[in-house]
Amino acid sequence: QDAGSGINRAMKKAILDGLDTAALSGKTVDVVGAFRLINPKNWMITPVRIDVK
The pLDDT profile of the chain, 53 residues, written as one tens digit per residue, is: 678 788 888 988 888 888 898 999 999 999 999 888 989 898 888 889 999 99
Q: Is the separation of the CB atoms in 38 and 44 below 8 Å?
A: yes
Name the E strands within 8-52.
29-39, 42-52
pTM score of the predicted model: 0.59
